[in-house]
Chains A and B, each alone.
Chain A
Amino acid sequence: MTASVQETGHGAGQPRFAVFPSRRPGSVGPGMSGAALLVTLGACLPIGFIVWVAIQSGWPLVWALVFRPRVGELLVNTLLLVAFTLPLCILFSVGLAWITERSNLPGARIWSWLVVAPLAIPAFVHSYAWVSFIPSLNGLFAAVLVSTLAYVPFLYLPVAATLRRLDPSLEEAAASLGHAPLAVFIKVVVPQLRLAICGGGLLVALHLLAEFGLYVMVRFDTFTTAIVAQFQSAYNGPAANMLAGVLALCCFTFLGLEILLRGRERYARVGSGVARSLPAAPLRVWTAPALAFCAGWVALAVGVPIVTLFGWLLHGGTSVWNAGEIAPAVFETLLFAGVGAVLATLSALPIAWLSIRAPGPVQRVIEGLNYAVGSLPGVVVALSLVTITVRIAMPLYQTVVTVLLAYVLLFLPRAIVSLRASLAQAPVELEQAAASLGRSPLNALWTVTVRLAAPGAAAGMALVALGIVNELTATQMLAPNGARTLATAFWAHSSELDYAAAAPYALLMIILSLPLTGLLHAQTRRRAAP
Chain B
Amino acid sequence: MSGILQLNMVSKRYGRVQALDAINLRVEAGSRLAIVGPSGSGKTTLLRMVAGFDTPDSGTVQLGETCLATPVSFVPAHLRDIGIVSQDGALFPHLSIAQNIGFGLPKDTPGRDKEIAQLLEMVGLEQHMLARKPDEISGGQQQRVALARALARRPRLMLLDEPFSALDTGLRASTRRAVADLLSARGITTVLVTHDQGEALSFADQVAVMRDGRILQAGDPRDLYLRPDSPFVAAFLGDALILEATIRDGQAQTRLGSIATATATVPRPATIVLRPEQIVLQPGREGGEGCVARIAAVEFGGAGSLVTLELVGPFADGGPAVVLHRNGLADLRVGDIVSLSVVGAAHVFPAGD
Contact surface of A with B, Cβ cutoff 8 Å? 167, 169-170, 172-181, 184, 187-188, 191-192, 194, 265-273, 279
Contacts and interface: CB of A to CB of B under 8 A. Distances in A.
Contact of A172 (B51, B104, B153): B51
A267 B93 contact: yes
Given A169-B86, A271-B142, A273-B87, 10 more contacts: A170-B92, A173-B84, A173-B149, A175-B76, A176-B78, A176-B84, A177-B153, A179-B103, A187-B103, A272-B139
Nearest to B136: A266
Contacts of B53: 172, 175, 279
B139 A266 contact: no
A99 to B, nearest CB: 20
Interface residues of B, number: 35
B351 interface: no
Residue of A170, A176, A180, A270 with highest tally of chain B CB at under 10 A? A176
B315 to A, nearest CB: 47
Contacts of A173: 84, 86, 90, 92, 146, 149
Contact of B93 (A177, A187, A270): A270
A207 B103 CA distance: 39
A175 B52 contact: yes
A187 B106 CA distance: 13
A194 B92 CA distance: 14
A267 B134 CA distance: 10
Given A172-B77, A175-B77, A270-B134, A188 B153 contact: no
A178 B142 contact: no
20 contacts: A169-B86, A169-B88, A169-B90, A172-B84, A172-B90, A173-B86, A173-B146, A176-B51, A176-B150, A177-B78, A177-B150, A177-B153, A178-B79, A267-B94, A269-B88, A271-B87, A271-B166, A272-B88, A272-B166, A279-B53
7 tightest A-B contacts by CB?
Answer: A271-B88, A177-B104, A169-B90, A175-B77, A173-B90, A191-B94, A270-B134
B91 interface: yes
Interface string B40-68: 00000000000111100000000000000
A172 B88 CA distance: 13
Interface string B132-144: 0111000100100
Given A173-B84, A179-B78, A191-B94, A271 B52 contact: no
B57 to A, nearest CB: 14
B77 A176 contact: yes
A167 B53 CA distance: 14
Residue of B77, B134, B149 with highest tally of chain A CB at under 10 A? B77
A176 B51 CA distance: 7
A176 B80 contact: yes
A268 B88 CA distance: 13
Residue of B52, B86, B88, B90 with highest tally of chain A CB at under 10 A? B90
A263 to B, nearest CB: 10
Residue of B53, B93, B134 with highest tally of chain A CB at under 10 A? B93
B37 interface: no
B78 A266 contact: no
B52 A167 contact: no
A267 B83 CA distance: 24
A172 B83 CA distance: 10
A273 B93 contact: no
A273 B88 contact: yes
A176 B161 CA distance: 13
A519 to B, nearest CB: 31
B86 to A, nearest CB: 5
B90 A177 contact: no
Interface string B119-132: 00000000000000
B166 A273 contact: yes
Contacts of B146: 173
Interface string B294-333: 0000000000000000000000000000000000000000
Interface string B74-111: 00111111111011111111100000000110000000
Contacts of B83: 176-177
A271 B134 CA distance: 9
Contact of B142 (A175, A181, A270): A270
Given A268-B93, A271-B87, A177 B134 contact: no
Contacts of A194: 94
B76 A270 contact: no
A271 B139 contact: yes
Residue of A174, A178, A184, A194 with highest tally of chain B CB at under 10 A? A178
A265 B93 CA distance: 8
Contacts of B142: 270-271
A414 to B, nearest CB: 29
A192 B146 CA distance: 19
B25 to A, nearest CB: 20
